[in-house]
Amino acid sequence: MSKTSLHSNRPLSPHLQIYKPIPTMVMSIVHRITGSALYVGTLLVAWWLIATATSERQFDIVNMVYGSWVGLLILLGYTWALIHHMIGGIRHLVWDTGRGLEKRSTTRMAWANLVLSIVLTILVWIAAFTIA
CB proximity list for 71: less than 8 A, separation 6 or greater = 65
User: What is the C-alpha to C-alpha distance for residues 84 and 114, in angstroms, rounded to an integer?
Assistant: 7
CB proximity list for 111: less than 8 A, separation 6 or greater = 23
Residue 92 labelled as part of a binding site: no
Amino acid at 57: R
User: What is the C-alpha to C-alpha distance for residues 84 and 95, in angstroms, rounded to an integer?
Assistant: 17
Give the residue numbers of the binding site for heme.
85
Give the residue numbers of the binding site.
85
